[in-house]
Amino acid sequence: MKKGIFLLLLIVSLHYTVNGQTKKEVYNYCIEIGIQNPEFVTAQTQLETGYYNPNSLGMKNNNLLCFKWGTFLEFNHWKESLDYYKRWMDRKGIYYYKDLNTLLINEWGAGDMVGYISKVEWIKRNK
């Protein structure tokens, strides 16, 4: 019985190690590629993926920020979604706006962006 439980736990942990990533890995990659405000973006990925829940659409599609053009975009690796975000930010240019929050409200404009930003800020402070 103990061997069976150990084996099950080992399989589950390997699944998450191979298929998932951690907050620290996401944050470090944001730093590596030069994303502005990596703490905020890391918190966004946590919110969008349900804290990296493997059953979330973002995790299934390696799309940590849940980008979509009609349908959700799919990436081969989770880092590609952050590369996409970086290119989007570089193209849009945060210099058009006073800060990241204003950029998101003006550019994404979907739903309650003020509420969304409040949730991301809470995650950034508390998780």
Do 45 and 84 meet the contact criterion of CB atoms below 8 Å apart? no
Token match 């979907």: residue?
A: 110
**pLDDT the model gives residue 17:** 42
pLDDT tens track for 46-61? 999 999 999 999 999 9
Residue 94: predicted pLDDT: 56
Q: Categorise residue 77: left if φ over 0, alpha if ψ from -120 to 50, beta otherwise.
A: beta
Q: For the segment 55-112, what is each residue's pLDDT rounded down to a tens digit?
A: 999 999 999 998 888 888 999 999 999 999 999 888 766 545 556 666 666 666 555 6
Instruction: State the DSSP string of 5-35.
Output: HHHHHHHHHHHHHHH---HHHHHHHHHHHT-
Full set of structural domains in the chain with CATH:
21-126 (1.10.530.10)
- Return the DSSP state at 94: G
> Considering the entire predicted model, what is its pTM?
0.73
